[in-house]
């Protein structure tokens, strides 16, 4: 007569307890939330700094556009009787108008108001250049060029060559976005100094 073997079985309560413990372990999201926060906060910070940085650059470009337009407006009515001088007062008045506008809009003029007037140059011999770097962002240099011998053609018919005044300014802008990227991930971004350049041309009225 064959005697049947006994089959050992674990209590159902033990298996159920193990399953419940594993489910609780895998369903706990407290650690993942901390990880998500650690990853997302630096990315959001870089994004915010980038938006602020590029907005500041566009704002500076807009102010420089208006500055050269203001200088061109003042310069168009300045007399030409003193342009044979090394440092004509009419040209200095244009420089002062631009420096004054920059200061009024909270843009550092880098010492432009006190910058020395260069000897005239250019093909026309009527180009004056001012350079200033006192307190400029990132130790950069502001360059202002006033060309009182500039010419341009009209768009009508017939096309005429008109004597005018051209003002060009180059201003240093220091980026902050790249430094934020390098601090967080060691990557690269816009860094250092970028020269923002703009110009305006107007007909000379005198």
CA distance 128 to 141: 16
Residues in a beta bridge with 170: 143, 197
Per-residue pLDDT of the chain (206 residues; tens, 9 = 90+): 555 555 555 556 666 776 766 566 555 555 666 767 767 777 787 788 888 889 999 999 999 999 999 999 999 999 989 988 889 999 999 999 999 999 999 999 999 999 999 999 988 889 999 999 999 988 899 999 999 988 887 787 888 788 889 999 999 998 887 666 666 665 555 557 899 999 999 987 76
Q: Is residue 164 part of a domain?
A: yes
Q: How far is CA 157 from the centre of its chain?
A: 40
Q: What angle do CA 142, 147, 153 make, to 5 degrees?
A: 130
3-class state of residue 136 by DSSP: coil
Q: Domain total for the chain?
A: 1
Cβ atoms of 110 and 89 closer than 8 Å: no
Q: Is residue 11 part of a domain?
A: no
Q: Is residue 1 part of a domain?
A: no
Range of the domain at 161: 37-203
Which stretches of 77-162 are DSSP H helices?
89-104
What is the token pair recorded at 34? 């901390």
Q: Is residue 17 part of a domain?
A: no
pTM of the complete model: 0.74
Residues in a beta bridge with 162: 152
Q: Is residue 18 part of a domain?
A: no
Q: Is residue 16 part of a domain?
A: no
Give the CA radius of gyration of the chain: 34
CA distance 92 to 112: 11
Q: Is residue 71 part of a domain?
A: yes
Cβ atoms of 98 and 144 closer than 8 Å: yes
Q: Is residue 111 part of a domain?
A: yes
């Amino acid at each position: 007569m064959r005697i049947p073997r006994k089959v050992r079985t674990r209590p159902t309560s033990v298996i159920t307890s193990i399953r419940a413990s594993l489910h609780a372990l895998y369903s706990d999201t407290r650690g993942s939330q901390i990880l998500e926060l650690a990853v997302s906060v630096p990315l959001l910070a870089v994004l915010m700094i980038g938006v602020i940085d590029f907005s500041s650059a566009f704002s500076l470009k807009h102010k420089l556009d208006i500055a050269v337009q203001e200088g061109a407006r003042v310069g168009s009515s300045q007399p030409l009787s003193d342009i044979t001088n090394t440092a004509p007062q009419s040209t200095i008045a244009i420089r002062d108008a631009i420096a004054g506008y920059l200061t009024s809009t909270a843009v550092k003029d880098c010492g432009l108001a006190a910058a020395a007037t260069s000897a005239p140059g250019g093909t026309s011999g009527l180009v004056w250049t001012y350079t200033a770097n006192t307190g400029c962002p990132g130790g950069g240099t502001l360059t202002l060029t006033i060309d009182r011998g500039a010419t341009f053609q009209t768009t009508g018919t017939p096309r005429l060559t008109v004597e005018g005044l051209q003002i060009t300014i180059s201003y240093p802008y220091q980026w902050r976005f790249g430094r934020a990227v390098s601090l967080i991930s060691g990557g690269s971004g816009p860094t250092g100094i970028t020269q923002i350049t703009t110009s305006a041309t107007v007909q000379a009225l005198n």
